[in-house]
Amino acid sequence: MVNLSFDNREGYIWYNGNIVDWRTANVHVLNHGLHYASCVFEGERAYNGKIFETQQHTTRLFKSAESLDMIIPFTENDIIEAKNVLLKKNSLIDAYVRPVVWRGSEMMAVSAQITKINVAIAVWEWPSYFDPDQKMQGIKLDIAKWKRPSPECGPVHAKAAGLYMICTLSKHEAEAKGYSDALMLDYRGQIAEATGANIFFKMPDGKLHTPLADCFLDGITRRTVIGLAKASGIEIVERKIMPEEMADAEECFLTGTAAEVTPVQSIGDYKFTPGEICLKLTDAYNKLVNEK
């Protein structure tokens, strides 16, 4: 199933309050979300039939929509209930969950005050984001030429579709070189994140250092892992990190809904050894999300 095109699958999608056949959940080519990136979304995971942190993801979806001047015509409870109904309707236990909100086709110009705000939710089986055999050995990252923009350039704390254009370009270039992903710096030249995941480093002081999320998404998995680390007695330092500091880092890993906790063995010419902290937090996260 994972090799099928996403427009040609069996199953059901929740679309503006109705459950419809997967193949009929279509939009017109002249919709504002496609042409002007007025679109926000979430990426969530269901484990054992339970969507992890579904309330946090739903709240962020609404905040992201508000950042793009879109009012979702449903309540948070409506969306949470729809996600759970959809999992059962599609007979899925472990799955990826994708709510998406976009402006419709009523206007086709930059200005779009009267466009309808559409909402859809899809769920599907989701394998490991990275090669499972490679994951625990640590993945390899390139260093992207594209940078995360300044907060003055857009709603950088929203999970907005337009902000991912440079992520796609960075990941494509990295994969063409044989890497799994790319590290992105921010507009100041400081370490920001990977193309779809936050990043952590174990430094010689024994603490976990992670960039301040002041111009990119403060991931829900990021916050979860910070909580797990603190509960394990690992001190967290959130600060500005320059690329050259990676020379001193002993361990490195990514966090994200898709990536979960993924060790990193290299970023460009910088090398790391997945060790005790990576393994401890990987195990702690897996136990947490699989709680029944």
Q: Which residues are catalytic?
A: 159
* Distance in angstroms (rounded) separating the CA atoms of residues 36 and 188: 27
SS3 assignment, position 40: strand
Query: Please, are residues 194 and 254 in contact by the beta-carbon 8 Å criterion?
Result: yes
Residue 208 exposure: Cα atoms within 13 Å on the Cβ side: 26
How many Cβ atoms sit within 10 Å of the Cβ of residue 191?
23
Query: Please, are residues 115 and 104 in contact by the beta-carbon 8 Å criterion?
Result: yes
Query: Please, are residues 51 and 94 in contact by the beta-carbon 8 Å criterion?
Result: no
* Distance in angstroms (rounded) separating the CA atoms of residues 226 and 221: 8
| 141: nearest Cα among 98, 216, 201, 189 | 201
SS3 assignment, position 237: strand
* Structure-token pair, residue 141: 């990252």
Do strands 198-202 and 95-103 pair parallel, antiparallel, or not at all (unpaired)?
A: unpaired
Report the chain's C-alpha Rg in angstroms. 19
